[in-house]
Amino acid sequence: MKRDDKLFSIGEIAKALGVTRRIILHYEERGLIEPDKRDDATNNRYYTIDTFTKLRSIRSLQNLGLTLDEIRDYYNDSTDLMPLIRRMEEMRDQLNLNIEKLYERAKVSSAQVKELELPQQLIYRRTYRSDNVADKTVLLRNTALEAMRAHGTDITRRMYFIQFPIDRPAEVSFCVAVPPGSEGEYVETAAPMRAICIYHHGAYEELPAVGRQLLDYAKEHGLTPQGILRHTYLEGPPQHKDPAKFITQVILPIV
């Protein structure tokens, strides 16, 4: 069979995609693609640019975590797309959280005040009196253990934070993100809020000073605090022995 200049051999396709010939043949076996032409004498397969484009999309979807069955059903319009969309949204949220953390780790200093919108989320919340770092660390770990045993965790959200009234800092709520649909004692919805924040690199003992910095900023800029402060833990003892490497997002919700 005379070679058509508009067709690609399986070897050319495999090289362009950075995969093996076996992978492309496997896609054929699973019903994802078909060769556009086949040489009956040699059984060589040839593909158009459209098939190459589809193969590239298949690889992209595979890299996002979809199974070959899910990808085939997607192309055949034989599946409910909403579960796939929700999975990708969760992956996007996880990526955004990790990108945010890596940006903060890359900075020499991140003591700038930033504005943000705190999203609504489902949390497991326990409230205790605590006025020192050691006790707060133990209580947060205990609350996390309770939450995970009862409900699991929502990995698309920051896992831990504490929250307390500005005028009563010893009345601490220990909060752990739990999956949507969780129900039971101590499970509640944290409402969305507008806020200002600082990403603090350093020991937890330094956080009260960061909170005062946010309050001063709010006063200078005519912002009205809601009366609470939140500490969201990005990196701490589980990741680092040196407290200077801890990263905490100190948040002041505002009206």
Whether residue 168 has pLDDT greater than 90: yes
Packing angle of the helix pair 21-29, 10-17 (nearest 10 deg)? 110
pLDDT digits (tens, 9 = 90+) for 19-68: 999 999 999 999 999 999 988 888 899 998 888 888 988 988 888 888 99
Whether residue 254 has pLDDT greater than 70: yes
pTM of this prediction?
Answer: 0.66
pLDDT digits (tens, 9 = 90+) for 58-102: 988 888 888 999 888 888 878 787 888 888 877 777 777 777 767
pLDDT digits (tens, 9 = 90+) for 124-136: 999 999 999 999 9
What amino acid is encoded at 22 in this protein?
Answer: R
Going across the sheet that includes 37-38, the strands are 8-9, 45-47, 37-38
The CA distances from residue 80 to 61, 73, 74, 117, 138, in Å, are 16, 9, 8, 31, 44
* Annotation: CATH topology of 8-75: Multidrug-efflux Transporter Regulator; Chain: A; Domain 2 (1.10.1660)
Residues in Cβ contact with 58 at an 8 Å cutoff, skipping those fewer than 6 apart: 27, 32, 33, 71
Whether residue 2 has pLDDT greater than 60: no
Q: Which of 83-92, 148-157, 192-201 has the highest mean pLDDT?
A: 192-201
* Start and end residues for every CATH 3.20.80.10 domain found in the chain: 114-254
d(CA 118, CA 108) in angstroms, rounded, equals: 25
* Start and end residues for every CATH 1.10.1660.10 domain found in the chain: 8-75
* Annotation: CATH topology of 114-254: Multidrug-efflux Transporter 1 Regulator Bmrr; Chain A (3.20.80)
